[in-house]
A and B are shown apart, each in its own frame.
Chain A
């Protein structure tokens, strides 16, 4: 439970300082069982992850791949079937840790009969915040998520996006060091999505650690420093976004207003070089390509293939 417990050797291969590791999972496995203890779903299979201080980490994966399960394990909402989930060097179930954690659930599970102010005030109390601090923080957060105009309305009258916003405010009430966001942009309009992404980046700039999961690739691509791709509860890919997306043996040419003549010339050069011309075209979102190829690949050849190679 304590931070001093022996760390397995293979995990220490990472070059960064151990004290910088905020989240660490070792061999984390979750099997959902039914009432009689029969196995229903193997939602997570031997996940090894490390999230470091100050980074935005994205968990990527198709529906039902185990993203939410991972986050719940990290919060102690679920107990691991095997392996360990450590946050700030302590067991995920530690209550004290929660002082430094903010969590935005998949859907905003809030008390519908409270209004925005009451909601934030209530969660503020749960952090044992004194009244004056609480008042100030509540007002600031309501302002920040842009709900000033609706702060006296009961949450049951809120639209999905509004609920999402108040959910985010709730997650930030304690000025957390680690923020876990489960599909933060779902239900938000384009402006809201942009604001959310800016907010996440701003949090990173304040030195906070963010773990978010999503299947919206542009979101991940825009904000995440490192990602892990899950499929059927298995880790398929892990690494820095920029590295993962550089396809070493592919050269992409992007120009503006290139004449047909010039294009022909380039084709010529490529041909002379003995290389194969793939296309000269507007590039597609490459994360999407990566994602789809991993999922297709995994479907064709099931099995674990976590590549730590692209790490850092």
Chain B
């Protein structure tokens, strides 16, 4: 799973300025001020043209003053009345059919979901979350886009605005009403989806007693059974001479096994619906010569999410974890690592690439004994570092038996380093910061699933808010297009920015079209000509405009947290908090814009 850097920030790291960027708060303030000034200038020019420069100034001043007064006099009862009207309207328009559609989709989903995949849970969860997102966003789009324009077209708005209703109350009422509808719908979808996932994944196996095989002798003797083939897989049960039995992991889960008087019984599936709480460290690199480097090597085959270190050299990488205390990890340190492997020669393809992992005290040159492991390609390796372990003093080379993890390897202030090296020359390990983490507490899956729906909910709120805003000055169908465009642009925000800044090859829209028709590769230079430079200039203007538009739009892709739920990671509270804060800010800005748009509109014209 790919976790982006910004998904790991704490709420305040996101909010306040850091060396990485200006932070959410400052960005919001700057954008607000720019938009405000822009709004003032545009409305002044407009008023000045209509009524002359002085009168225009007073008109704008009066408008701003009225706006402040109107917002201050917002009446909850009126907002509530408008909201419940919107709800009634939506229900009369039979929006709940959307829920029926959803249920039907789920009923058919069983046929086309790839239940034979290695991780059916991921597929189930991604599917229900994606289906819920699309359905609820489309619904939010339709509801919010047509409501106000319909009121204006049917002139029912006349009887509203001739009552002491502020434009802000009309806007807020609409937004709240549709959000309530969306919430109802999402709740229903969430509950149904939850049962769809848990029911769909639950299955039982019986142990085939006849399949018992004995391997090894004496103390090393183990017994092995097979289970029945259910839900496209079977498990192998192994029991050692001490009587401890365990079930191997298949399709991302295992089962508990109990010995019921000589008869082995498997429990329900475990480990497929989880919410791991990973604790991430800070990743750093040593290059081939053993000097500290900002990054490893780019092996050039993929995009640059991961950095690589070569085997058989000084190159190494380490993660520094904070707050490693016995209270948090009473049973030792559970480490999970997902390394990507890049082979410059085939080596032994049957076997993974050999790697070395050890823990190190950040303040001293004291480490644990190296653990040589073979990489699990395309998978996650889980290790539990016990509290009692052998300690190596790297300066003297002496080994101390039965040292303590926390007293010997963790620094005074609770820091600990986890080092990884590639042990085979010519092979490379690739890693990104989230690839190695300490697994602390486990949260309930149901709660994490609910948080996944909160993310969808936030996107729905944004779509509703933007839809209502556009509908204050556009007609219904145009509103829908505009909202859809904002959704798509917001979704591909990072791509648009990359095109604008020239990070993506092939140029802007004009150039791309030209390349498309002239069948030129994106990396070939265009012949320098007047038309080529004209094309580039038009593209530049277009992309700059797009970029500034995109800059003020919410980037919907960032709001998606379904990958966390699907891959069994707890959705970080900080991440959710940043999303909530972003949504609230957009809600506020959009309400204000919508207020002025509606207020300055001649509704009977």
Contact A122 B161 (CB under 8 A): no
Chain A nearest Cβ from B600, distance in angstroms = 9
Q: At the interface, yes or no: B165 with Cβ under 8 Å from chain A?
A: yes
Count, chain A residues at interface, CB 8 A: 29
Confirm or deny: B154 has a beta carbon within 8 angstroms of a beta carbon on chain A: yes
Which residues of chain B in 565-605 are interfacial with respect to chain A, using CB atoms and an 8 Å cutoff? 602-605
Contact A103 B162 (CB under 8 A): yes
Q: Number of B residues whose C-beta is below 8 Å from A?
A: 29
Write out the residue numbers on chain A whose beta carbons fall within 8 Å of the beta carbon of B365.
none
B161's closest neighbor in chain A, by CB?
A77
Given B75, B81, B605, which contacts A32 in the complex, CB threshold below 8 Å? B605
User: Is A72 touching B159 in the complex (CB atoms < 8 A)?
Assistant: no
Q: Cβ of A128 and Cβ of B75 under 8 Å apart?
A: yes
- Closest chain A CB from B94 CB (angstroms): 11
Are the CB atoms of B163 and A127 closer together than 8 Å? yes
Taking the complex as formed, is A269 at the interface, i.e. its CB lies under 8 A from any CB of chain B?
no
* A126 adjacent to B163 (CB under 8 Å): yes
* Contact partners of A114 in chain B: CB under 8 A: 88
Q: Is the CB of B163 within 8 A of A78?
A: no
In the complex, the answer to whether A95 meets B164 with C-beta atoms within 8 Å is: yes
A109 interface neighbour in B75, B80, B159, B605, Cβ under 8 Å: B159
Name A97's closest neighbour in chain B (CB-CB): B164
Instruction: Please state if A123 and B163 are interface contacts (CB–CB under 8 Å).
Output: yes
Q: Name the distance in Å between A116's Cβ and chain B's nearest Cβ.
A: 14
Q: Are B163 and A77 in contact (CB under 8 A)?
A: no
Q: How far is B163's CA from A103's CA once the two chains are assembled, in angstroms? A: 9
Asked whether any CB of chain A lies closer than 8 Å to the CB of B563, the reply is no
- Is A111 a contact partner of B164 (Cβ separation < 8 A)? no
CB of B78 within 8 Å of the partner chain: yes
Q: How far is B80's CA from A256's CA once the two chains are assembled, in angstroms?
A: 64
The answer on a CB contact under 8 Å between B161 and A110 is: no
Interface string of B152-192 (1 = CB under 8 A from A): 00111111111111100000000000000000000000000
Q: Are B159 and A110 in contact (CB under 8 A)?
A: yes
A125 to B85 alpha-carbon distance, docked (Å): 11
- A52-101, CB < 8 A from B: 72, 75-79, 95-96, 98-99, 101
- B77: CB under 8 A from chain A? yes
Residues of A within 8 A of B199 (CB): none
Whether A103 pairs with B77 at a CB distance below 8 angstroms is no
Interface string of B353-396 (1 = CB under 8 A from A): 00000000000000000000000000000000000000000000
B-chain residues with CB within 8 Å of residue A9 when the two chains form the complex: none
A209 beta carbon closer than 8 Å to chain B:
no
Question: Could you tell me the distance between the alpha carbons of A174 and B159 in the complex, rounded to whole angstroms?
Answer: 13
Given A1-B62, A105-B159; A126-B164 close (CB under 8 Å):
yes
Chain A residues with Cβ below 8 Å from B66 are: 95
Given A125-B77, A126-B81, does the pair A99, B164 have CB atoms closer than 8 Å? yes
Check: B89 CB closer than 8 A to any chain A CB.
yes
Nearest CB of A to B86, in Å: 11
* A95–B156 CB distance below 8 A: no
User: What is the bound-complex CA distance between A110 and B160, given in angstroms?
Assistant: 9
A110–B162 CA distance with the chains assembled, in angstroms: 13
B90 to chain A, nearest CB (A): 11
A128 touches B78 (CB 8 A): yes
Expressed in whole angstroms, the minimum distance between the Cβ of A167 and any Cβ of chain B is: 8
Is A170's CB within 8 Å of the partner chain B?
Answer: yes
CB-defined contacts of B604 to chain A, threshold 8 Å: 72, 77-78
A128 partner residues in chain B, CB cutoff 8 A: 75, 77-78, 164
> How many A-B pairs with Cβ below 8 Å?
73
Knowing A72-B604, A125-B80 are in contact, say whether A111-B156 is a contact too (CB < 8 A).
Answer: yes
Residues A111 and B163 in contact in the complex (CB < 8 Å), given A77-B158, A126-B81: no
Given A114-B88, A128-B77, A98 contacting B164 (CB threshold 8 A): yes
CA distance A122 to B173 in the complex (A): 13
Could you say which residues of chain A place their CB within 8 Å of the CB of B163? 98, 123, 126-127, 174
Is B603 a contact of A125 with CB atoms below 8 Å? no
Whose C-beta in chain A lies nearest to the C-beta of B82?
Answer: A126
B345 within 8 A of A: no
Q: Are A122 and B81 touching (Cβ within 8 A)?
A: yes
> Is B558 engaged at the interface, CB distance under 8 Å to the other chain?
no
Which of B161, B162, B604: most chain A CB closer than 10 A? B162
Shortest distance in angstroms between A181's beta carbon and chain B's nearest beta carbon?
A: 13
Whether the Cβ atoms of B78 and A125 lie closer than 8 Å is yes
Within 8 A of B (CB), among A150-179: 170, 174
- Docked-complex contact A111 and B165, CB < 8 angstroms: no
For residues 120 through 136 of chain A, which have their beta carbon under 8 Å from a beta carbon of chain B?
122-123, 125-128
Which residue of A has the minimal Cβ distance to B599?
A: A93
Query: What 0/1 readout, one digit per residue, does chain B (494-538) give for beta carbons within 8 Å of chain A?
Result: 000000000000000000000000000000000000000000000
Provided the pairs A76-B161, A95-B164, A123-B159 are in contact, do residues A109 and B602 lie with their beta carbons within 8 angstroms? no
B92 proximal to A (CB < 8 A): yes
A125 touches B81 (CB 8 A): yes
Shortest beta-carbon distance from A38 to chain B in Å: 14
Which residues of chain B come closer than 8 Å to A79, judged between CB atoms? 602
A75 cross-chain contacts in B, Cβ below 8 A: 158, 162
User: Are B89 and A113 closer than 8 Å at their CB atoms?
Assistant: yes
Query: Which residues in A have their C-beta under 8 angstroms from that of B154?
Result: 109
A76 contact set on B, CB distance < 8 A? 161-162
Q: Are A122 and B166 interface neighbours, CB within 8 A?
A: no
Most interface-central of B75, B154, B165, B604 (chain A CB within 10 A): B604
Q: Is the CB of B166 within 8 A of A170?
A: no
Decide: B156 and A109 in contact? CB cutoff 8 A. yes
Contacts A125-B78, A128-B75 given; does A77 touch B85 at CB 8 Å: no
A-contact bits for B77-110, CB 8 A (1 contact / 0 none): 1101100010011001000000000000000000
The residues of B that contact A95 with a CB separation of less than 8 Å are: 66, 70, 164-166
Q: Which residues of A contact B81 (CB under 8 A)?
A: 122, 125-126
30 contacts between A and B (CB under 8 A): A1-B62, A32-B605, A77-B161, A77-B602, A77-B604, A95-B66, A95-B70, A95-B165, A96-B164, A98-B163, A103-B159, A105-B155, A107-B155, A109-B158, A109-B159, A110-B156, A111-B85, A111-B156, A113-B88, A114-B88, A123-B163, A125-B77, A125-B78, A125-B80, A125-B81, A126-B164, A126-B165, A127-B164, A128-B164, A174-B163
Residues of A within 8 A of B (CB): 1, 32, 72, 75-79, 95-96, 98-99, 101, 103, 105, 107, 109-111, 113-114, 122-123, 125-128, 170, 174
Known A-B contacts: A75-B162, A125-B77. Give 8 more (CB < 8 A): A77-B603, A78-B602, A95-B66, A105-B155, A110-B159, A111-B89, A123-B163, A126-B78
List of 9 A-B pairs having minimum Cβ-Cβ separation, nearest first: A125-B81, A77-B604, A126-B163, A109-B155, A98-B164, A113-B92, A103-B162, A109-B156, A72-B604
